[in-house]
Amino acid sequence: MERAVPLAVPLGQTEVFQALQRLHMTIFSQSVSPCGKFLAAGNNYGQIAIFSLSSALSSEAKEESKKPVVTFQAHDGPVYSMVSTDRHLLSAGDGEVKAWLWAEMLKKGCKELWRRQPPYRTSLEVPEINALLLVPKENSLILAGGDCQLHTMDLETGTFTRVLRGHTDYIHCLALRERSPEVLSGGEDGAVRLWDLRTAKEVQTIEVYKHECSRPHNGRWIGCLATDSDWMVCGGGPALTLWHLRSSTPTTIFPIRAPQKHVTFYQDLILSAGQGRCVNQWQLSGELKAQVPGSSPGLLSLSLNQQPAAPECKVLTAAGNSCRVDVFTNLGYRAFSLSF
């Protein structure tokens, strides 16, 4: 178990402030570079840190290689979401999406390539962006968050093309159906909505809290969402549940009490993480295959590095309510933590 060793020397003003900042840091988002060798992580202070996975995983890794290669202030507010295209890193949080060139980011003093703000209706408070989703087929980006809408942005021109309205509260998460151009979104209102990108219409609504998986004391909100062909898994206030989309019925309710904040399909498993230290691995049948403890008291994001360019860096990373990003070299074991 890796622990921050209590420091013997009492600290000065800046050190105390830095220690407190690290202590109250939350890493909301992660994204692996297209080359597969770097990992970007964004925290609640609006900073993005780039870690070198290859050097941290190499045999002669030192303590320093688990520190970020570079850290920069990207946003004013928390960085809630990040995705990588084959050249750019897109980050969003406080109502804006910014693009960074992966090639330039490792240098100091990196400036964003561009920034865009979706057209918001309210002016009192800038709504946050909670989720970003790339649609490779039409080279566009879908943004969703505080204004309860999905915005699609053409990456070629940088213009916002569509607005999908329907949610009654803010949107937590997005998922793309691979075969048909359909997008799933889950939000605070407790509904998972299925959108057809061609018609820009809502095609299906699943009100999760109305089914047996609901847990009223936790709230209705859907915190995480993942989909694979006809299957969809979602969790949050209601229990983590596997749904059959065509019939809109829950098939498996996973027996975990803590609200889940991230879920993903991996081979024939479902990986989920949320409150609690562990990364959970589920069989589709609902059996808990394994619980692998991490170093953070709560996890918010999981990232599987499956870039074919860097097979040696094929790892699972998990981050959440701490300044550490846990790295799992295989699914059953936490090898080490990268740290801000």
Partner 1 sequence: MSSESSKKRKPKVIRSDGAPAEGKRNRSDTEQEGKYYSEEAEVDLRDPGRDYELYKYTCQELQRLMAEIQDLKSRGGKDVAIEIEERRIQSCVHFMTLKKLNRLAHIRLKKGRDQTHEAKQKVDAYHLQLQNLLYEVMHLQKEITKCLEFKSKHEEIDLVSLEEFYKEAPPDISKAEVTMGDPHQQTLARLDWELEQRKRLAEKYRECLSNKEKILKEIEVKKEYLSSLQPRLNSIMQASLPVQEYLFMPFDQAHKQYETARHLPPPLYVLFVQATAYGQACAHMKSSQPPRQDKTLSVAIEGSVDEAKALFKPPEDSQDDESDSDAEEEQTTRRRPTLGVQLDDKRKEMLKRHPLSVMLDLKCKDDSVLHLTFYYLMNLNIMTVKAKVTTAMELITPISAGDLLSPDSVLSCLYPGDHGKKTPNPANQYQFDKVGILTLSDYVLELGHPYLWVQKLGGLHFPKEQPQQTVIADHSLSASHMETTMKLLKTRVQSRLALHKQFASLEHGIVPVTSDCQYLFPAKVVSRLVKWVTVAHEDYMELHFTKDIVDAGLAGDTNLYYMALIERGTAKLQAAVVLNPGYSSIPPVFQLCLNWKGEKTNSNDDNIRAMEGEVNVCYKELCGPWPSHQLLTNQLQRLCVLLDVYLETESHDDSVEGPKEFPQEKMCLRLFRGPSRMKPFKYNHPQGFFSHR
Site residues (vs partner 1, CB under 8 A): 3-4, 6-13, 15-17, 19-24, 26, 28, 44, 77-78, 80, 124-125, 128, 130, 146, 170, 172, 188, 216-217, 219, 221, 223, 261, 275-276, 297-298, 300, 321
Minimum separation from the CB atom of position 139 to partner 1 (A)? 26
Contact 151, 143 (CB under 8 A): yes
CB nearer partner 1, residue 19 or residue 203:
19
CB nearer partner 1, residue 24 or residue 62:
24
CA distance readout (Å), 176 to 132, 153, 196, 268, 312: 11, 15, 11, 18, 27
Which residue type is seen at 188? E
CB nearer partner 1, residue 23 or residue 288:
23
Minimum separation from the CB atom of position 24 to partner 1 (A)? 4
Minimum separation from the CB atom of position 278 to partner 1 (A)? 13
Compute the CA torsion angle 301, 306, 309, 310 (nearest 10 deg).
Answer: 70
d(CA 181, CA 27): 30
Minimum separation from the CB atom of position 32 to partner 1 (A)? 19
CB nearer partner 1, residue 169 or residue 202:
169
Minimum separation from the CB atom of position 216 to partner 1 (A)? 4
CB nearer partner 1, residue 31 or residue 321:
321
CB nearer partner 1, residue 208 or residue 300:
300
Identify the CA nearest to 42 among candidates 96, 103, 107, 116.
Answer: 96
Minimum separation from the CB atom of position 165 to partner 1 (A)? 18
d(CA 206, CA 226): 14
Contact 303, 39 (CB under 8 A): yes
CB nearer partner 1, residue 171 or residue 327:
171
Contact 307, 35 (CB under 8 A): yes
CA 228 to chain centre: 17
Partners of 185 in the beta sheet?
174, 193
Q: In terms of C-beta density within 10 A (0-12 exposed, 13-18 middle, 19 or more buried), how is residue 266 classed?
A: middle
Contact 131, 143 (CB under 8 A): yes
CB nearer partner 1, residue 222 or residue 327:
222
Minimum separation from the CB atom of position 275 to partner 1 (A)? 6
Q: Which residues contact 281 (CB under 8 A, 6 or more apart)?
A: 269, 270, 271, 288, 289, 290, 291, 292, 331
Minimum separation from the CB atom of position 289 to partner 1 (A)? 24
